[in-house]
Structure 1
Amino acid sequence: MQLLAFVLIYPFMWVISILPHRLFYGFSDIAFFFVYHVFGYRREVVQNNLNLVFPDKPKEEINRIEKEFYKHLCDTFLEMVKTMNLSKKAVAKKYRVVNPEVLLEIEKEKSIIILCAHYANWEWNVSINNYVNSKGYAVYQQVNNSYFDKFIRKTRARWNTTLITQGQTAKTVIQNFRNNVRATYGMVSDQSPQAHRAHYWTNFMGIKVPIFNGGEALARKTGLATVFLKVSKVKRGHYKAELIPIALNGKETEEHEITNTFLRLTEEQIREKPEYYLWTHKRWKHRDKKPAAFAKT
């Protein structure tokens, strides 16, 4: 069944990926109509998240953000499909990195952990590895369909990126560190961990929730540098990426310093243009489940 699904869906995706700009985003507009107006995909989740995070915003503004978010969500999904036929040169025009010298300078001395959020186009963030000389890795969620998973890993490899799962991350980083293999690791770090497995709780967008801090833990263990990737949507289909150093040596930071800096930079990004954040995720679902062990934090 997995092979059949791949054989049936792949040609459709390939055709979409080669459509010219106007037709490509025209198709996204059609997708928006069905996703937002007809099926109402996760609209209740989105509305609850927006009202929770922005309690002072009027209903009209919440509705505007919600609608613009769904338009962007459809664009993002189709831009992920477009990756199939997007060359290094083409992605560089659509996803412009304004200061790649930040990575080039740091990688002369050590490996780098790049922390980013589900903001703007996180799928094209892996193209950052086109600008570095070291080996590029990106942590991803493995696809259940093995054929699509293999295809995605092969596609990302064109951009100097090896995909690794969350379970493989610590082993890969530490092994490369011990073998003196210089590398760049991309991690989307704003997900919601399971409450009982969380090691850190703090405020995110004004609400106390469990926080992933695996990137910080690895940086503090190995002394790797950490950099925040700020992505802005310039216009439809075009993004600007800025690299903001957090810490040049993880071993020289205080506990939670890297994570807290990442969260504050992410919050600034969201408040500036909230419609480009991924509101369909239940990011704040554990807000009322804080264990007694964290009562004073």
Structure 2
Amino acid sequence: MLEPATLAWLERHLAPGEAVADARPLRGGWTSRICALRTTDDRELVLRSFLTPFFRRHAPGLLTREAEVLALLRTTDVPAAEPLAVDPTGEHCAAPSLLMTRLPGAVRLTEDTGAALAALLVRVHAIAPAERPRPYQAWTAPDRVAVPRDTARPALWRRAVAAIRREPPPFTGRFLHRDFHPGNVLFAGGDITGVVDWVETSWGPADLDVAHCATALALLHGPAAGLRLADHYTTAGGELSADPRDHLYWRLLDALAFAPDAEKLALPWRDLGRTDLTPALLRTRLEDYLAAILERYQ
């Protein structure tokens, strides 16, 4: 499965006499190829490689950032992999790649995880690095929202877009995962054993990480699951925007980035067994979630 150049690079970063004994793909990702490796010393590792032209082009920044963040996280209580080697440009491997240890556990896409996810997010936001990561990037803007052409609720979309047509609210900066959702968290039993995919780590409002995870929960389980996440977060000790209008902005800024039907987000979830997440269902849930956010916060 792995290319000869990639295997040769891997084995230069293993222990003397250690080799790759087995490699198999892991499901659940869409930006990169994720391979589980087992070595002749019976170590479990993970190799992340960017294959598509878009992500190969951005790989130097993404993989370098992730390796640095993983090294930082080794000094915290947030469970994350240990980085072992990185080839951010693909100079040595067949594609830009990051080698890291493998975390125990598996993704859990059930509705009972909201409180645990929120409590972990509070711990992520408490990280105080010596050097701040890059400022957050918004993933949509009022004039970039892809409103569904055949929506039966155009007024809803107009209200939602209008609510983000303003300057971003002031905020207290926090250390953000920036792509925190159930697909990037591993569970074993009732415990969280790891958080993966740190390429988007940035500095910004806690509301934005909460909003992103809430959107994912709303799409997976319905609007009520998304709305509950902020309550779980504050119960766990996290602080969010005090002004409901500001909270509304961050919630909608994230949710509208998945218009028109959130198909991109659902592709890896289907690989993990959620075949019920059809484009039609996702579109309905996204619209229902927009309506629920506007009703609660506007």
When normalised by structure 2's length, the TM-score is: 0.29
Larger relative contact order (CA 8 Å, sep ≥ 6)? 1
Judging by fraction of residues, say which structure has more helix: 1
When normalised by structure 1's length, the TM-score is: 0.29
